Structure 1
Amino acid sequence: MKKRIQSFKYAGRGVAKVAATEINFRLHLLAAAAVTALGFYFRLAPLEWAAVLLCFGLVLSAEAMNSAVERLVNFISPGRHEQAGEIKDIAAGAVLLAAAAAAIVGGIIFIPKMAARLGALTSP
């Protein structure tokens, strides 16, 4: 049991480190906070919340993994190497794919709600 608790402490320390040092991670957290506020405003259904929360987890996890890959590559290969750059680019591409998927899910959930709200505001 003690080892399990310690592993959670290590993981929490990792999340705190990436949040403290990576601007993109903090930007994704800010976006998650904004989407959460919109979710409460539009009163999302439970399945919509599930989709939104899964997207948060996907994007933040991808960003954390990207940061870990970048640090590992920099540690192993401190100089400038083509393959090191490709590895970093691929990891960054994973974040882009996750963020794009999250944006699509967000659009599917929020665009109809925004359109309905705008329609209600503009109708006589």
Structure 2
Amino acid sequence: MSDRGPKDLLTRTAEDSRCSGEGRFSLPCAFRCAGEGIRYAFLSQRNLKIQGALGALAVIAGFVFRISQAEWLALVLCIMVVAVAEVVNTAIESVVDIASPEWHPLAKSAKDAAAGAVLLASIGSVACGLIIFVPHLFALI
């Protein structure tokens, strides 16, 4: 085993999968690592904070309008798809920054495609939100 410090224990390496004959990364450590990844994305990405705030507003609107179970399902899925896309985008950006510290057209394309995935998820979520909430808003008029 290498000489890694306590903070490095939250980072899995190929060596970890084979050390001590265990062949597995512990489940609690896997959850800690996943939590750290989500935390990093949330703290470092302005857009994830904005998307989180908009998602929270949509949830509040869901309670106010007493949306149906199917509408809740669609709303939760939309919020999660956008959040997942943003976290994956953050991971891709980080990997590209390590692999290509200098500007490269393929690095740009990778980052643009990852950001495009977030945009597509966001557009779909806005469309779904309109489908859910516009009828409720018209019912008030």
Indicate whether the TM-score tops 0.5: yes
In the TM superposition, structure 1's runs of 4+ consecutive aligned residues that sit over 4 Å from their partners are none
SS in structure 2 of the partner of residue 31 of structure 1: helix
Does 2:111 correspond to 1:88? yes
Question: 1:9: which partner in 2?
Answer: 32
1:81 shift after superposition: 0.7
Q: Considering Cα pairs closer than 8 Å and 6+ residues apart, tell me whether 1 or 2 has the greater RCO.
A: 1
Question: 1:71: which partner in 2?
Answer: 94
The gaps in structure 2 that reach 5 residues or longer are 1-24
Distance 1:85 1:8 in 2: 31
Distance 2:101 2:53 in 1: 31
Higher helix share: 1
Question: 1:56: which partner in 2?
Answer: 79
SS in structure 2 of the partner of residue 78 of structure 1: coil
Instruction: For 1:21, give the aligned amino acid.
Output: S
TM superposition score normalised by structure 1: 0.91
Distance 2:109 2:139 in 1: 44
SS in structure 1 of the partner of residue 26 of structure 2: helix
Aligned residues: 118
Does 2:128 correspond to 1:105? yes
Does 2:44 correspond to 1:34? no
- Decide which structure has the larger Cα Rg and report it: 2
Distance 2:138 2:98 in 1: 49
Distance 1:84 1:14 in 2: 21
Identity of aligned residues (%): 36
TM superposition score normalised by structure 2: 0.80
The gaps in structure 1 that reach 5 residues or longer are 120-124
